[in-house]
Structure 1
């Protein structure tokens, strides 16, 4: 079970981030208090992330309902009991159906152990996840941040984060994944809070609720 940081802890981390990097001062100043984002973990949580990738929120919700109804239980055994075409009939693309099988197989064989994953350092946990076909680095980092509540993760490949970093640095172009990850090193040990802050700022600007300029 994730023990989410309190509002006081999050505010303290945000203040520490601004002290570490004044480029975050505007984002911190205009972004209201927020809660730590949490999601269901384990096989079901990872499956849902797989379903949601590269589709709209509405489409993801509709496909997930079909997957839940079709499988009965979101677990490795029901997935492995179905052929790839059966999974496609539930709304999964061919690659996603194959990835679902690969992840279920890794869980069934013990190659992927969610309970043991929690005891691994961040880098080892990411390596363990990305060793499974269908789990990229972004997915692994998002899983560890939202499903395990890890405090010092930064998914540098996230486009929204890259764009918010560009705004913060007043840069002409977005940083690459490698550049974003290197830039975020300054924010240790609060990189997950920095990601939350930048996401909330980015979303608020896109909705017209927050200011981008300073």
Structure 2
């Protein structure tokens, strides 16, 4: 579960204390809620469905899946062949990934419903062991679906750009640079991620202005 608003406020203050750049971001970013998504098999599969398509397209495919399957479960997904799933809007690749995840869940190769019993590193290792789940997806799942407070998706481009703004740098860090930069924010790298995302979104929507020096 995500941390409470009170805990989030304390963590933001701690990040500001740890890093002047984060103090700058903290001072300019209003209070926000932790972004929460459904977890378990459904949450991970939905993240796969949403990748590389528009928000509207993803919503449409997910609605068709729920209608076609009755309920999105591992058993129901495996009860349909690939062509049937393609008829519900999935690409062959995503249908294959989904069935692989469903089979792993039902066979006990992974327990997505109780992944919270594993520490961050072990959970990431288990997730990336599933075909179709890369490092970014694994980290984003743990951050958004399980509310973990020290998971950092360093490959996220928006996050990298927000780091560039915060550091007033000319060049956006790559994933390796972002991970290295985030070391200073332990044990609140997940909170730093949400704070930087909120700041980035506010700037892009024109709700927060960057200083001219930035």
TM-score category by the smaller chain? over 0.9
Unaligned 5+ runs, structure 1? none
Q: TM-score, normalised by structure 1?
A: 0.95
Residue of structure 1 equivalent to 2:33: 35
**Residues 1:50 and 2:48 are matched in the alignment:** yes
Cα shift readout 1:20-39 (whole Å, capped 9, x = no counterpart): 11011221111110111111
TM-superposed deviation, 1:147: 1.5
Unaligned 5+ runs, structure 2? none
Distance 2:182 2:38 in 1: 26
- Aligned pair in 2 of structure 1 residues 36, 99: CA closer, same or farther (>3 Å)? same
The correspondence of residues 81-96 of structure 1 with structure 2, limited to 5 A, is 81-96=79-94
Residue of structure 2 equivalent to 1:157: 155
**Residues 1:65 and 2:72 are matched in the alignment:** no
TM-superposed deviation, 1:51: 1.2
Q: TM-score, normalised by structure 2?
A: 0.95
**Residues 1:141 and 2:139 are matched in the alignment:** yes
CA RMSD of aligned residues (A): 1.2
The answer to whether the Cα contact below 8 Å between 2:39 and 2:113 also exists between their aligned partners in 1 is: no
Residue of structure 2 equivalent to 1:22: 20
- Aligned pair in 2 of structure 1 residues 115, 69: CA closer, same or farther (>3 Å)? closer
Residue of structure 2 equivalent to 1:124: 122
Distance 2:122 2:8 in 1: 26
Residue of structure 2 equivalent to 1:8: 6
Distance 2:89 2:173 in 1: 34
Residue of structure 2 equivalent to 1:78: 76
Distance 2:14 2:23 in 1: 10
TM-superposed deviation, 1:212: 2.2
The answer to whether the Cα contact below 8 Å between 2:16 and 2:24 also exists between their aligned partners in 1 is: no
The answer to whether the Cα contact below 8 Å between 2:101 and 2:131 also exists between their aligned partners in 1 is: yes
Distance 1:46 1:85 in 2: 22
SS of 2:206's equivalent in the other structure is coil
Distance 2:190 2:90 in 1: 30
TM-superposed deviation, 1:94: 2.1
Distance 1:86 1:185 in 2: 46
Distance 1:185 1:88 in 2: 42
